[in-house]
A = this chain, B = another copy of it.
Amino acid sequence: MTSNAKTKAPPETPAYLSRIGEAEAAIRRTADRLTQPRVAVLACLMSLDHAASHFDVAQALVNHHPIDRVTVYRVLEWLVEVGIAHRIAGDDRVWRFMINDPTASIAPHHQHAHFTCNSCGQTFCLDDVPNKLNFRLPSGFKPSTVDLKFRGRCLHCA
C-alpha cells in the first residue's frame, strides 16, 4: 500500500490486530487446529461490540489477512459449532455472528436478546435475559428457547 492511489493515510492498524493473541488462546482451548484464517476471523469478531456478517468480516480482514469468502463462512460456522460464537438471523436474510459472552459459557445463549438499530443497522447482543418473562404462552406450546429482539435507536445513534 503506497501513497500513489490515496491522498490521506488509511487506518493502518485495524482494531482486530490487537486481539490476535487473545484469539489464538481461545482457539488453542478447542481441540482443533490453529490456523491463520481462524485466528483472524475470531480476532475480528472479538474487536467488535456488534454482530458482523460474513461480508463485514471479509471486508475487515481484506488488507492484512485476505481470506477466501468460503473460508470465512466455514470459519464462522466452526466458531458457532465449538461454542465460541453464535449466529443471528437478520431481517435482510443475512446471518450475523457475535462472540459469546465467556462468563455465560456453560449454557450459552439459550435465553437471548438482540437490539437492531434502525439508524445504523447494526445488531447488538444484550445478555442478562431474565429467566421468567411475564409472558403467558397459549396452552399446548412448550418453549425450549426464547429470543427477544428489539428495534430502535442504539446508544451510538441516540
Residues in chain A within 8 A of chain B (CB atoms): 89-91, 93, 95, 113, 115, 118, 124, 126, 128-130, 132-155, 158
Known: A91-B89, A148-B148. A158 touches B135 (CB 8 A): no
| Contact assessment for A152 and B145 in the assembled complex, using a CB-CB cutoff below 8 Å | yes
Q: Which of B89, B135, B136, B150 contacts A137 (CB 8 A)?
A: B150
| Contact assessment for A143 and B152 in the assembled complex, using a CB-CB cutoff below 8 Å | yes
Known: A130-B135, A133-B133, A135-B113. A148 touches B146 (CB 8 A): yes
Q: List 6 A-B contacts (CB under 8 A).
A: A130-B135, A141-B153, A141-B158, A142-B152, A143-B152, A144-B151
